Amino acid sequence: MSSADGESVFGRGKTFRGKGVDDSWKKIQERTFTNWANDRLRGNLKVAKRQLKTLEEDLKDGQLLIELVNRLAATEDAQSTQGGKAEGPRGPKSIEKWDKNPRGKLQCLENIGMALHFCELHNIKLVNIGRGDIYDGNMKLILGLLWTLIGKYQIKISGKGITTKKAMIGWINTVIPEYEVSNFNTDWNDGRAVCGMVDRIRPGLCPNHFALERSHGLENCRLGMDLSEQHLDIPKVLTPEDLNNPEVDDLSIMTYLSYFCQPYNAVLLQWIRQKIPHRGIKNLSSDWNNGINLGALTESCFPGICSDWEAMDPSNAIKNNERMIALIKERLGINCPVSAAELADPKNDEIVVATYLHHFRNAKLHNSPEQFSLLMPPRQAAAPLYRRPSPSKCK
C-alpha cells in the first residue's frame, strides 16, 4: 500500500538500504504508529480510556479504529472552526452507532467497514485495503492506513502539487536551515537537529545545539526530546533510542517531527498578526488564497515595494498570486513551493504556506527599493542565503 501522494508505506527498507537489511525499522514504525494512535485516542486525558497494544489484535473488532477516526475528525473540525478556514463539502462529523460488543467475524467486519467508509466520506484515499485486511492483521496494510491518517490529520498534507516528504523537508529547512536536512533518517541520528527545532521555537532552551558533539547522539536525542516534551508538550511517539538508531524509518521520524508544526506555526502566526494587525489573519492556509494578504505582508515588511496591494481584486486570486509570487521571487529571492493556482485553493496545505511565509522573517531586499506596480512584470532573482548561528551553551 502507498500513501495518496505515492510515497512508500514503509519509509525505509530494502528499497532504500539494499538486500539483507535488518528489519528493526519495521518494529520502530509499528511502535511509533501505535504510540501516535494512542496519543490521538487520549485527547485531553492523561491516558486513553482504551489503548492499542498490538495493532493486529486491537483493531480487529473495529471499535478502536472507529474511535480513532471519530477523534481525528472532531479535532480537525474544531481546528477548522477556530481558524476560520473556508471548507468545502465535508463528510459526517462522526460514526454514531456501531456494534460495541461484536461477538463474531461478521460484526467485526461491519465495524471496520464503517470506519473505512467514514474515511472515504472525508476524502481519504484508501489504496488496496479492505476490512478483511484489518481483521486478518495484515501489518503492512494496517501501517499504510495509519500513515494515510497521519498524513491527513497530523501533517495535514493533501499531496496536491508536492509530496509529503518534500513539503516537510522544505518546512524543516526553513526552521533550521543551518542543518541542510536532506532526509528523515540519518540526518536526525545525532539529535542536534531536534535540539535545534526546540531552540528555534523557544529561543534559549538549547542555544548551542549546533555545537553539540555528534558522537553523543543518544544523549543529544534525549536532551532534545525531553525539552520538547517538557516545554512544547510534544509526546515521545518515537523513543530517543529509536531516533538514534541508523535503521529508523523516514515515516516514524516524520510522524514525530510533525508535532513541531503546531507550536512553530503558532509563533509564525503571531509574528504575522503583529506585522499586519488590520488584516485579521486567522490561519496559515485559506487566508492566503487571493494574494491580498501576501501583498499586505510584503508591504509591511518592505514599505514601498507593493504599496498598491489594496487595489488587487479578491476575485482574481490566481492572477494576484502570480503577480505576488513573481514580485517576491524577484525582490526578496523567495521561491513559492507551489503554483499560483495551488495557493489559491481553499484547501491548500498549511505546512506549504507556512514554509513560504516563514522566509519573510529573515528576507532582505534585492536591488533598489523602488515602488513596484502590479502592472509591471518583475525580473528573475537569486535564491536567499543562510548563515549558521554562532554556538553558545544549552540551558
Q: Which of 84-93, 101-110, 318-327 has the lowest mean pLDDT?
A: 84-93
**pLDDT averaged over every residue in the chain:** 86
Scan for cell 517576491, then name that residue. 328
Same domain, 192 and 302: no
Grid cell digits, residue 216:
553523543
Structural domain including 316 reads 276-361
Same domain, 208 and 328: no
Q: What are phi and psi of 341, to 5 degrees?
A: -65, -40
Same domain, 174 and 72: no
Does residue 389 belong to any structural domain of this protein? no
Does residue 148 belong to any structural domain of this protein? yes
* 80 vs 299 pLDDT, higher one: 299
Does residue 266 belong to any structural domain of this protein? no
Does residue 284 belong to any structural domain of this protein? yes
CA distances from residue 293 to 22, 268, 326, 373 in whole angstroms, order as listed: 50, 15, 15, 16
* 368 vs 152 pLDDT, higher one: 152
Average pLDDT over every residue of 326-351? 94
pTM, entire model: 0.85
Angle, to 10 degrees, between the axis of helix 139-149 and the axis of helix 24-42?
50
Q: Are 136 and 108 in contact (CB under 8 A)?
A: no
Provide CB contacts within 8 A for 355, sequence distance 6+. Answer: 167, 170, 171, 174, 337
Does residue 380 belong to any structural domain of this protein? no
- Domain end marker among 231, 258, 285: 258
Query: Which DSSP symbol is given to 137?
Result: T
Residue 166: strand, helix, or coil = helix
Smallest CA-to-CA distance from 126 within 277, 276, 9 is with 9
Same domain, 329 and 203: no
Q: Is the dihedral of CA 326, 332, 338, 342 positive or negative?
A: negative
Average pLDDT over every residue of 1-25? 49
Distance CA 336, CA 330 (A): 12
Does residue 337 belong to any structural domain of this protein? yes
Same domain, 322 and 242: no
Residue 102 belongs to domain with CATH number: 1.10.418.10
Same domain, 151 and 18: yes
Same domain, 254 and 280: no
Grid cell digits, residue 12:
525505509
Which residues make beta-bridge pairs with 2?
A: 8
pLDDT of residue 161: 74
If you average pLDDT over each of 96-105, 204-213, 378-387, which comes out highest? 204-213
Average pLDDT over every residue of 293-309? 96
Task: With a cut of 90, say whether residue 376 has pLDDT above it.
Answer: no
Distance CA 159, CA 150 (A): 13
Same domain, 150 and 193: no
pLDDT of residue 162: 85
Task: With a cut of 50, say whether residue 384 has pLDDT above it.
Answer: no
pLDDT of residue 382: 36
DSSP-derived secondary structure for 345-376: -TT--HHHHHHHHHGGGT----S--PPP-TTS
Q: What is the pLDDT of residues 238-263, one digit of tens each?
A: 999 999 999 999 999 999 999 999 99
Query: Which DSSP symbol is given to 74?
Result: H
* 20 vs 70 pLDDT, higher one: 70
Does residue 394 belong to any structural domain of this protein? no
> Tell me, what amino acid is at 92?
P
Which residues make beta-bridge pairs with 8?
A: 2
Distance CA 118, CA 75 (A): 15
pLDDT of residue 28: 96
Same domain, 192 and 234: yes
User: How many structural domains does the chain have?
Assistant: 3
Provide CB contacts within 8 A for 234, sequence distance 6+. Answer: 225, 228, 256, 259, 260, 263
Provide CB contacts within 8 A for 182, sequence distance 6+. Answer: 169
Query: Which DSSP symbol is given to 88?
Result: -
Same domain, 119 and 137: yes
CB atoms within 10 A of CB 130: 15
Same domain, 29 and 141: yes
Task: With a cut of 80, say whether residue 223 has pLDDT above it.
Answer: yes
CA distances from residue 196 to 19, 66, 190 in whole angstroms, order as listed: 34, 37, 12
Grid cell digits, residue 121:
466520506
Task: With a cut of 90, say whether residue 135 has pLDDT above it.
Answer: yes
pLDDT of residue 270: 97
- Domain end marker among 155, 183, 201: 155
Query: Which DSSP symbol is given to 20?
Result: T
Same domain, 32 and 133: yes
Average pLDDT over every residue of 273-290? 97
Does residue 294 belong to any structural domain of this protein? yes
Residue 134: strand, helix, or coil = helix
